[in-house]
Structure 1
């Protein structure tokens, strides 16, 4: 995921720095171009499986007939070859959150009675491998990391771990998502589609993410792994805290 690049320091000396690689990948569904995404190299099978699921293009793994991965192209055939892929955007945010639109009627609600514990969250966050300059997202259960992924973008990393979960027949309603970076409304939407009841981040959620999570039954935990860890929505999903 890194490549060594020659450069000149401010002091005029030759140097080599490791920089993050990024790959533009065109996604085609049933022969039609759906979108082009920027990904870290590798793991495209898991990414596209999770992406099609969280964008509600494929409701199960069985809806996907085949996936062909080439250098900069992912070609997908669904069981219905005449279906035209279209990316649903239930939640849209403008730059800096200045413009937003929420179609509340299309947001699924969480269906789970999971109540995670504070020690489980703390143990999972402590075990979360940090990649430095890449974003990290993981699925965890019972304080244990089940699958972890790194990417330039934490939304892509979330699709990757969801794709792994689909391929492995994981029960999302019993799991927690762990993430580095700020939690956005789009990450909340993806968790709602997958029916993942708890989303924990080392950073804070956006205000829109809090609003959407509160409405749909998703528990948001921010600043995990620090003394400032706090539950922003649905504290009843975290046992062992006041108000839970």
Structure 2
């Protein structure tokens, strides 16, 4: 996940040669049924989970059982599907930065959340602290952390240079292990963007939580589709922006 590379460090105006742990970023190309669909700048781990999660959140497949084969050879990832996949024209590029590359955001083309899932505020505070306690982040300062949790605890945690890629990884893990995403929530270290909200809607994840901020477009998208967005979960505080009914004990003002 990282390399130790040379650099010059400064302290109180004095410069000395040293080394530092630097997170690895690599480019992967994904092919589906012989067609190139994606160039992804991502961390070189848990690639199968990343690919499955990405294909599902892009609407190319609906579950991992539709994959006939998935082969990783160097930086080339080739997927064959059982049925002919629906692929929009062009090759998409997903960058490792916070912006990423957004997909379609027409609310009319996105599904509503179907779930009766609820989780207490106390459990959210405990879970976000557990998931975001990352040794790799402390070491490199260069990764995002995304976890998937349910009533019974944390299912999986993924680390990546891009938070969108990390979310795809935990979705892919859930699909591989037959975890019911409608009774899970996503915990992320970075900003909740409209693209993160979109991925949760497609995967039917009813709640997304962050210790950081969210955006107006993510909130508007979530409000109309049944997704709960919670931001600034720090210490004993949080902001619940949409669908607070998923948090028991809140007196909802109408």
TM-score (norm 1): 0.90
Match of 1:91 in 2: none
Which runs of 5 or more structure 2 residues have no equivalent in the other structure? 91-97
Whether 2:120 is the aligned partner of 1:117: answer: yes
- Give the drift of 1:101: 7.7
Q: Is the partner of 2:200 in helix, strand or coil?
A: helix
Instruction: Summarize the alignment of residues 1-244 of structure 1 with structure 2, pairs less than 5 Å apart.
Output: 1-10=1-10, 11-80=14-83, 82-83=84-85, 85-86=87-88, 102-128=105-131, 129-130=133-134, 131-132=136-137, 133=141, 134-142=143-151, 144-243=153-252
Q: Distance in 2 between matches of 1:226 and 1:143?
A: 22
Listed one character per residue, the Cα deviations across residues 6-57 of structure 1 (whole Å, up to 9, x for unaligned) are 1223434211111111010001111111010011111101000101000010
Contact 1:118–1:241 at 8 Å: present in 2 too? no
Aligned residue pairs: how many? 235
Which runs of 5 or more structure 1 residues have no equivalent in the other structure? 89-94
- Give the drift of 1:115: 1.4
Task: Find runs of 4+ consecutive structure 1 residues off by over 6 angstroms.
Answer: none
Q: Is the partner of 1:208 in helix, strand or coil?
A: helix
Cα RMSD (Å) of the superposition? 2.2
Match of 1:92 in 2: none
Contact 2:192–2:214 at 8 Å: present in 1 too? yes
TM-score (norm 2): 0.87
Q: Distance in 2 between matches of 1:167 and 1:143?
A: 19
